[in-house]
A and B are shown apart, each in its own frame.
Chain A
């Protein structure tokens, strides 16, 4: 039996740039930053007082009682998943639930719920701790809620690989369909941890930008002045579908998910390998899996988080694994770093870049690093015919995930 082709038939997102895919994509193409100052009282004590916060609060979309039992990461996963589901034309479609799977992960999970309930425990005692606490903080919560609301019965999975989570969840969805376990998989990532503790933790690692006076200029991948990533929150979800299944129901197809490559560094718990060795292998595996010519991969949505070391390790890896022809971009310059949702949002950007023949810009690239020797769509979008494109995601723990999307 030949291997199933897998296509993308639906997209959904709620991000710092917009409450849906269309508004997010418009903002990305126009080079708008989603980063702003944190005005919450708790931010005053922190070394980092900027973040990329959701453009549309979940409370504007979901009703109050439902939100009481959802962690913010679960709420936005549900919002994005319902958008993707509708976008794919699957509402009331009669899809066999036993052929529907879910693969949605989070980098950190329900930490904000955990911390909020701990405050209640300390202040008021155990009886006041919400009975919804466990389903709100469990890391499989977002996937489980989406599976519940869409009626998925082919398996609900929640991978966790830090900032590679969203991409790895999509790669797992590809595997599920290829293995014959599902015809449709709702896949992606979600993250909502804009809270003093995670911020303090990342800041203690010296991983975050402290450009507090210029929020919109703080995320600046590959620029000489970069000083760390900017934390973002959001969810990105794609509907993956067996190509024959999509064709049989006349579904609109955005792109083909042609291949994936997953490796682990075995090098350091947080530092990327300086030569990007694990990334090189992930990219090479994805290209081989996709069975496309390197020369066809003319665009890369890079992981590029705006950290001094990581941005250049990826450049070396791309040189090595792909060559010097692709046009790169780092959409985190606008969205901030959505951690476990990053790979999903950036997959959506990669898919839409293919569809619209345009590479979104990398903003704030005013003074490129001397070691940046690849072509970047700096500061404005660039029209480009894109037969195939690569999306990279890397995570603390040494996780490397590369996805190849192609035009159909």
Chain B
């Protein structure tokens, strides 16, 4: 799966869970500061991403996933 495909998949999750417009989702965007994803919604994003991409994202990794790009890199490495 390419980075663009992972980004697109994350954008779908972010729209479903937090109402983020897919147009706003890019690798440089911060989940909390730019996309307004709060801590409870971030939990939903992580669980949905695990299911969508078939990866495990432990809780202690989530704090390192500050930006969409961080998440894409993590998922890319795991899958």
| Cross-chain contact of B19 among A63, A127, A130, A132 (Cβ < 8 A) | A63
> Chain A 28-70 against B: per-residue CB contact (8 Å), 1 yes, 0 no?
0000000000000000000000000000000000011110110
- Roughly how many angstroms separate A131 CA and B44 CA in the complex, as a whole number? 7
Q: Is A128 an interface residue (CB 8 A)?
A: yes
Contact of B17 among A63, A68, A127 (CB under 8 A): A68
Q: Which residues of B contact A68 (CB under 8 A)?
A: 17
Chain A residues packing against B (C-beta within 8 Å)? 63-66, 68-69, 127-128, 130-132
A69/B40 contact (C-beta < 8 A), A63-B19, A64-B19 known: yes
Complex alpha-carbon distance, A128 and B43, angstroms: 10
A33 to chain B, nearest CB (A): 37
Assess the B44–A130 pair: CB atoms within 8 A: yes
Q: Which of B18, B40, B41, B47 contacts A127 (CB 8 A)?
A: B47
Q: B interface, by DSSP: helix, strand, loop or mixed?
A: helix
- B18 interface neighbour in A65, A128, A130, Cβ under 8 Å: A65
Question: Which residues of the partner chain A approach B47 to less than 8 Å between Cβ atoms?
Answer: 127-128
Q: How many residues of B contact A (CB 8 A)?
A: 8
**Chain B residue at minimum C-beta to C-beta distance from A132:** B40
Bound-state CA distance A66–B38 (Å) is 13
Tell me what chain A mostly uses at the interface: helix, strand, loop, or mixed. helix
Q: Whole-angstrom distance between the alpha carbons of A127 and B47 in the complex? A: 7
B2-40 interface mask toward A, CB cutoff 8 Å, 1 = contact, 0 = none? 000000000000000111000000000000000000001
Q: Closest Cβ of chain B: how far from A3's Cβ, in Å?
A: 43
Q: A271 to B19: give the CA distance in the assembly, Å.
A: 48
* B residues in contact with A127, CB < 8 Å: 47
Complex Cα–Cα for A66 and B40 (A)? 13
B40 contacts A65, C-beta separation under 8 Å: no
A63 to B43, CA, bound (A): 20
Cα(A277)–Cα(B40), bound, Å: 49
Smallest CB separation, B31 vs chain A (Å): 15
Tell whether, in the assembled complex, residue A65 and residue B44 are in contact, meaning their CB atoms are under 8 Å apart: no
Instruction: Give chain A nearest CB distance to B46 CB in angstroms.
Output: 10
Q: What are 12 of the A-B contact pairs (CB < 8 Å)?
A: A64-B19, A65-B17, A65-B18, A65-B19, A66-B19, A69-B40, A127-B47, A128-B47, A131-B40, A131-B43, A132-B40, A132-B44
Taking CB atoms, residues of chain B closer than 8 Å to A66 are: 19
The docked-state distance in angstroms from the alpha carbon of A63 to that of B40 is 18
